[in-house]
Each structure stands twice: as C-alpha cells, then as structure tokens.
C-alpha cells in the first residue's frame, strides 16, 4: 500500500462512515482492487474508524462534555444528560456481546464480495422503508431503554460489511418514532464505545504489522478524521431535509454492480 492509497482509503472511510452507505463495505471493495493489499487482522480498518470517531469527538464536543460532567452535577439538564448516558451504556451492551461472540465470523466476511453486495442491497432496502414509514418526533428526553437495547443490537450486527452502521441505527430509531437529528446524534455517540473497544482488541495486531506501515496507517487515520467532519455535517443536513431515498438508490446500484462484477 502506498501513501496515496492510504490517504484515499482514509478519505473513503471518512466520507462513508456517517453517510448511510456502509464504510466497511466500501473499504473492503476498494481494498480488493489494490494489488497485494494486506493488513494484520482488520487493524488498518479499525484505525480508520478511530479517525472518524475523532471527528465525532470534535463535532459533538459540547454534548460529550455535558455527558461526562453530568454525573457530578445536579441541575435539570444534568438529569437528562445522566439518563442519556445510561441509555448509551445500555445500548453498548448488546453491541459488545454480538461483536465479541461473532468477531472472527464477521472479519471473515470482509473478503466475501458477494455477501457485501447483498448486504448493500439490504441497507438500501432498510433506508427506503425508513424514509417511507418514518414517523413521530421524539427527542432525547423521550428515548427509552427499549430504544437503546434495540438500536444497540442493530449496531452489533452492522459489523457485517455492507450493512451501514449509521444507516441501520438511524433508520431503526426513525422507524421507532425518533426525530431525525436526535436519531443521528444518538447513533454517533453510541458508535464511540464500540469503535474504541474494537481498537483495543486490534492493538494485538500491531505486532503483525510490517515495518514501516504504521506511518501509512496513521496518514489514513488523519485523512479519515478530516473527511469525517465534512460527512457528519452533510448527513445532518440530509436528515433534516428527509432525503435518505437517494442513499437507498445508491446502495441498490452499488450492491447490484458489485454482485454482477463478482458473479
């Protein structure tokens, strides 16, 4: 992998992490086109995800700061933040269980392009139905433990490449009557524990990384961070205007193209 390829993959990750089109699926497809591409485990992919989570930290720094400070304060707003923090913890539990139980199986799918293509078709269908049947306008104060557990379970299975994490979790909340911006913020915040956990699990793969590849990985991570900031801003604007249909069509076309190419 060259520095240019690393940066381009980072940009691809940053743009597709928050857009509902499956960053893992796009990375797997792009990496299959690079002759001789290899990585220990999914270390490079996880580091790219870490870069996009850095974008979440920066973009939502006020919300994250309020969440972290809420346990030590007693104001009315702090009670809401403590409740949101508990919901994020609850939602992270099924994600962790599914991720740990099926980690090896999911990683094995990253080289299975037909499966990735089929999952892109599934993502497109989910986006279509969520935009067609989205209802309600529940805000953060109205989120329930059921919302957190269901969306956490959905996030766990979105480790499958081709299933968009942001798309599936936001769509699930929209179908449960949650306001679009609230759904997006909760989805982004819920992703952080999962990505940091996956990063810790992948640290062992550093030993298998070839000498001199770490600067390449870090350049890709920096590119993912920068592209991620733009992607978050764009997705929030799209959700406000209720235009997820375009992403559904894109996923259908991309999935069909990859399926035709591989078969």
Average pLDDT of the residues in 19-45: 76
For the chain, give every domain's residue range.
3-262
Asked which of 14-23, 35-44, 80-89, 202-211 is least confident by mean pLDDT, the reply is: 202-211
Q: Is the pLDDT of residue 23 over 60?
A: yes
What is d(CA 110, CA 11) in angstroms, rounded to the nearest whole number?
19
Contacts of residue 255, Cβ cutoff 8 Å, sequence gap at least 6: 117, 118, 119, 120, 121, 123, 124, 162
Distance CA 40, CA 173 (A): 35
CA pair distance 52, 48, nearest whole angstrom? 7
pTM (2 d.p.): 0.82
The predicted structure's pLDDT at residue 215: 77
Query: Within a 10 A sphere around the Cβ of 50, how many other Cβ atoms?
Result: 17
The mean pLDDT of 94-113, rounded to a whole number, is 84
Q: What is the CA radius of gyration of the chain?
A: 18
Q: Tens digit of pLDDT for each residue in 195-251?
A: 777 766 656 655 555 656 777 778 888 998 999 888 888 887 777 766 778 889 999
pLDDT > 80? residue 165: yes
Which residues pair with residue 178 across a beta bridge?
138
Give me the residue label for tokens 């960053």: 23
């Amino acid at each position: 992998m060259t520095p240019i390829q690393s940066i381009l993959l980072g940009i691809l990750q940053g743009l597709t992490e928050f857009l509902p089109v499956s960053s893992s699926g796009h990375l797997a497809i792009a990496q299959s086109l690079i002759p001789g591409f290899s990585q220990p485990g999914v270390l490079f992919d996880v580091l790219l995800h870490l870069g996009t989570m850095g974008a979440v930290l920066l973009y939502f720094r006020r919300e994250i700061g309020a969440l972290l400070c809420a346990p030590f304060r007693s104001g009315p707003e702090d009670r809401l933040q403590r409740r949101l923090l508990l919901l994020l913890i609850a939602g992270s539990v099924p994600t962790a269980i599914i991720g740990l139980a099926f980690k090896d199986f999911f990683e094995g799918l990253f080289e299975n392009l037909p499966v990735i293509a089929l999952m892109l078709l599934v993502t497109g269908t989910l986006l279509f139905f969520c935009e067609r049947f989205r209802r309600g306008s529940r805000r953060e104060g109205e989120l329930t433990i059921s919302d957190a557990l269901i969306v956490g379970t959905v996030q766990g299975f979105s480790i499958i490449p081709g299933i968009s994490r942001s798309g599936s979790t936001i769509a699930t909340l929209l179908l449960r009557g949650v306001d679009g911006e609230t759904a997006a913020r909760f989805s982004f915040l819920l992703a952080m524990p999962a990505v940091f956990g996956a990063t810790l699990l992948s640290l062992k793969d550093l030993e298998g990384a070839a000498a001199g590849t770490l600067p390449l990985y870090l350049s890709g991570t920096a590119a993912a961070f920068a592209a991620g900031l733009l992607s978050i801003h764009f997705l929030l604007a799209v959700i406000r205007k209720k235009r997820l249909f375009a992403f559904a069509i894109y996923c259908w076309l991309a999935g069909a193209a990859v399926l035709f190419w591989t078969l």
